[in-house]
Structure 1
Amino acid sequence: MTSHARIKITAGFWESLYQLGIDAKHVVRKARLPLTIITDPFVTTTQYFAIWKAYSDIIDDTAKGIIKLATVFETTHYPPTVLATYHARDYRDALKRMARYKQMCPPEGLRITEKGDECTIELEWLYVEQPGPPILVGITLAFLLELGRRGTAQPLRAKLVEFSDSMGNVQVLEAYFGCRVQTGANCNRLTLHRGDLDRPFVSYNAELLEILTPVLEQSLDERQRSYSITEMVKWIVKRSLTGGCPDIQTVASELGMSNRTLQRRLIDEGTSFKNVLTQVRHEQAIEYLTDLSLDIKEVAFMIGYEDKNSFYRAFRLWEGNTPSNWRTEHLGKN
């Protein structure tokens, strides 16, 4: 999956802009894209980001732009992937479906973790090198809370919201999310009260889910099969490295296949799980070493090495040099 992936912009997006008094043609022109995008909704990742940037520039207030679009988007305009979440059994079921079916709607991905009394949902970028514009980040997280509010018919509040970029008027966002909003964080993450995930959805529709789920699962399976299994494994390994080393069983489970099947498919593509893991660690090591705010021990941890010495040995095999010397030679600093 690359930055040239085809992304579909739903008709509901353009309708929501209309509800806000924004002409779709104005957005497309500002994004310097052909007007045919309005009727032929498939775009590249670059074009997709350009449209969101154009909307942000037109609304001229990131925080208000986030809240306005998240709240004006009518449920009647939800695409099938979102309908399956809105009509889920409860908030937990809805979020799990959202994370799963988001794989069919790149470039945003969601990583959900439940621990203690918290549920964190971290936004990730699927198979793209550059993150999306701040307004897209904000709307993605705001919509997750909006989904819970609409499904449960309760004024749910988040526990914490973290953004890596400036998001405009933070006080406006805090009033919407009902919690503290932190900017300049090292991730984009929504933290919910875990108890809210048990809340049933008043919009639950078992009959509709019986129709939608098989179709969506088939579409997801077809989409996954169209991608290189090596690329998919690389992405899963990359997001799982920090503080540990994912094994083939963990990755195979996430892909919904057995260890043997995963290894066979990797061999068919001329590689192996061990080779992919090594490649990802090497690539990430180089990327992190160019960030002078990270010391060598931190870099080792972030690519799954428990101690610095193991990282040094591996890096010598990759580059024929130590991480410190590599950094000095390439960046001119230790």
Structure 2
Amino acid sequence: MSVIRSAGLRGFRATVAELGGNAEEFATACGLPVAALDTDDLLVSDFEVAAVLELAAHRLRCPDLGLRISRRQDLAMLGPLALAIANSPTLADVLECTSRYLFVHARALSLTLEPDPYGDRSVIALRYGGPPGIPNPVQGTDLGLAFVHHTILQRLAEVRYGLRSVELPYRPAAPLSVYEEFFGAPVRVERPAALLRVPSSLATRPLSGGDENLHRLAMAFLAELTGGENAEVAPRVRAAVQRLLGTAAPEIGAVARLLTVHPRTLQRRLAAEGTSFATILDEARREEARRYLTTTDMPMSQVASLIGLSEQATFTRCARRWWHATPTAVRRSGNRGQRA
């Protein structure tokens, strides 16, 4: 399973409501946490995200759902990548940092520059999609292409940037006129890949309003966030575990996939840094449990579930080990501290 930040669902709830549907019902039907509809930083299955988009489009008889949702999305949904994009000096820098770091937002997605498939040297192709061999979900691909076109390229360039054509690897159910009106360019269907064909001169077009120093800082932060062979792995494991808690099983295999390393390699690197996956997971559970106990009135069973424990009794045993007190006592103590 690959994952995507729940920010990718921005606009889904509002668009579904506008069409007379219930976003939470669709999410539940697809196994997607309802919380993913209203927050940006949950890590959710990209399969579940694709499924909820397809289900909503089908049930609401809205075959251009992905295009509609994209109008409600903005650059900020990309998190730290948004800062690098917004402060890029040229569109070439925008494309470079997006293609390099899009996986921070969605592990399996990529945006790559390729030669024009029709051999036009004045055109380059922006290829969007997942790993080769995996079918392109219609609504998810529509949404991704629309976001790149409408939110990244068109808004940053501030003018029509010369989109030559849109290539779709499927034949959408919506009329092509809907797509051509949205993109302002011809749309070709049943092509080998999802592409935006743009002028090659676009790469050198300067952008106004950016700050090159902020761009460099953002790129440095992204490089540190994604890490390299010599970067400390424990902070990245800790961040991944915190995101997985409450949304997916916080297992070493899932974290290793996020960091693109083998689980045994991950264990060896953590051991070299004087810690272990079990230690990091236990610390993250303790911190999250205290936060839920002292800042919410959630039932204990729900708190246990959110920190990845299957039973309330297990949570009670962990609480006694962590704080030498029951969860109820910790909650009461925290509430007294707040009143004081």
| In 2: Cα distance, 1:203 partner to 1:53 partner | 38
The aligned counterpart of 1:267 is: none
The aligned counterpart of 1:138 is: 142
How does 1:63-142 map onto structure 2 within 5 Å?
63=64, 65-104=65-104, 105-114=106-115, 116-126=121-131, 130-142=134-146
Moved more, 137-146 or 19-28: 19-28
Q: Which amino acid aligns with 1:119?
A: I
Tell me the alpha carbon deviations over residues 16-44 of structure 1, each in whole angstroms, 9 at most, x when there is no partner: 64266455424413424342444572112
Q: Indicate how the Cα distance of structure 1 residues 68 and 124 shifts in structure 2: closer, same or farther if over 3 A, else same.
A: closer
The aligned counterpart of 1:216 is: 222
SS in 2 for 1:82: helix
- Stretches (4+) displaced over 4 A: 222-225
The aligned counterpart of 1:200 is: 206
The aligned counterpart of 1:41 is: 42
SS in 2 for 1:113: strand
Q: CA deviation at 1:13?
A: 3.1
The aligned counterpart of 1:54 is: 55
| In 2: Cα distance, 1:225 partner to 1:26 partner | 28
Q: Which amino acid aligns with 1:220?
A: T
Percent identical residues: 16
Counterpart among 14, 18, 28 of residue 10 in structure 2: 14
Q: Indicate how the Cα distance of structure 1 residues 227 and 106 shifts in structure 2: closer, same or farther if over 3 A, else same.
A: closer
| In 1: Cα distance, 2:101 partner to 2:147 partner | 15
Q: Does 1:172 align with 2:206?
A: no
How does 1:302-321 map onto structure 2 within 5 Å?
none
Q: Which amino acid aligns with 2:218?
A: L
| In 1: Cα distance, 2:11 partner to 2:130 partner | 26
Q: CA deviation at 1:165?
A: 0.9
| In 1: Cα distance, 2:207 partner to 2:25 partner | 37
Q: Indicate how the Cα distance of structure 1 residues 51 and 19 shifts in structure 2: closer, same or farther if over 3 A, else same.
A: closer
| In 2: Cα distance, 1:191 partner to 1:118 partner | 6
| In 2: Cα distance, 1:191 partner to 1:185 partner | 13
* Conserved? CA contact 2:168–2:195, under 8 Å: yes
* Conserved? CA contact 1:120–1:192, under 8 Å: yes
Q: Indicate how the Cα distance of structure 1 residues 180 and 29 shifts in structure 2: closer, same or farther if over 3 A, else same.
A: same
The aligned counterpart of 2:2 is: 5
| In 2: Cα distance, 1:32 partner to 1:154 partner | 41
| In 1: Cα distance, 2:129 partner to 2:73 partner | 23
Q: CA deviation at 1:164?
A: 1.3
* Conserved? CA contact 1:160–1:192, under 8 Å: yes
| In 2: Cα distance, 1:6 partner to 1:77 partner | 15
Q: Indicate how the Cα distance of structure 1 residues 25 and 76 shifts in structure 2: closer, same or farther if over 3 A, else same.
A: same
Length, aligned pairs only: 223
Q: Indicate how the Cα distance of structure 1 residues 180 and 142 shifts in structure 2: closer, same or farther if over 3 A, else same.
A: same
| In 1: Cα distance, 2:108 partner to 2:56 partner | 18
| In 2: Cα distance, 1:43 partner to 1:152 partner | 32
Q: CA deviation at 1:94?
A: 0.7
Q: Please, what is the CA RMSD of the aligned residues?
A: 2.9
Q: Which amino acid aligns with 1:91?
A: L
Tell me the alpha carbon deviations over residues 218-276 of structure 1, each in whole angstroms, 9 at most, x when there is no partner: 222358993249xxxxxxxxxxxxxxxxxxxxxxxxxxxxxxxxxxxxxxxxxxxxxxx
Q: CA deviation at 1:76?
A: 4.5
Moved more, 35-44 or 141-150: 35-44
Q: Which amino acid aligns with 2:137?
A: P
Q: State the TM-score, normalizing by the size of structure 2.
A: 0.57
Q: Indicate how the Cα distance of structure 1 residues 14 and 95 shifts in structure 2: closer, same or farther if over 3 A, else same.
A: same
5+ unaligned residues in a row in structure 1: which ranges?
230-334
* Conserved? CA contact 2:129–2:141, under 8 Å: no
Q: Indicate how the Cα distance of structure 1 residues 211 and 190 shifts in structure 2: closer, same or farther if over 3 A, else same.
A: same
Q: Indicate how the Cα distance of structure 1 residues 67 and 225 shifts in structure 2: closer, same or farther if over 3 A, else same.
A: closer
Q: Does 1:184 align with 2:185?
A: no
Q: Which amino acid aligns with 2:169?
A: S
Q: State the TM-score, normalizing by the size of structure 1.
A: 0.58
Q: Which amino acid aligns with 2:199?
A: H
* Conserved? CA contact 1:85–1:97, under 8 Å: yes
Q: CA deviation at 1:77?
A: 4.2
